Amino acid sequence: KIENKQIASFSMEAVINQEFKTITDKNLEGQWTIMYFFPYAFENSSCATLKCLNENMTSNVAVIGVSTDSHYAHLAWIKSFGKDFKIPIASDLSTKVTQSFDILDDGHSKNCAFIISPNKLISYFVEFPLKIDS
């Protein structure tokens, strides 16, 4: 059971407001957080999900995107969204964070989201398909 599990400590390089910064588990303390893991930058379903999260952000919930791509790839990708993109996108190039959430799949993270409580417990988990058949 993944719910109510304490998240592991982490530190990742991230793109925040088109600048490189370090993001850690301490950034999650005291607030509800959605950690959205996705396998690749520039992948269609990831783009759509992140754009939707960005457009519907509130000050009550933090959102962090995470993939195993480099922060350089993330910067190029974020620039394609435009200047209004505010979600921090973190690079888990080592895959340590992805492994700690048990979502590593063939070297990349699965397409999923975790809702993290203010005391850093996993409250909810959902996995999304990469492609939706019509």
Dihedral Cα 5, 2, 56, 39, nearest 10 deg? 110
Q: What is the pLDDT along the chain (134 residues), one digit of tens a residue?
A: 677 899 999 999 999 989 999 999 999 999 999 999 999 888 777 778 888 888 887 778 999 999 999 999 999 988 887 778 889 999 999 999 999 999 999 999 999 999 999 999 999 999 987 665 54
pLDDT at 134: 45
Q: Is 115 left (phi over 0), alpha (psi -120 to 50) or beta?
A: beta
pLDDT at 38: 92
pLDDT at 12: 97
* 81 phi and psi angles, rounded to 5 deg: -80, -25
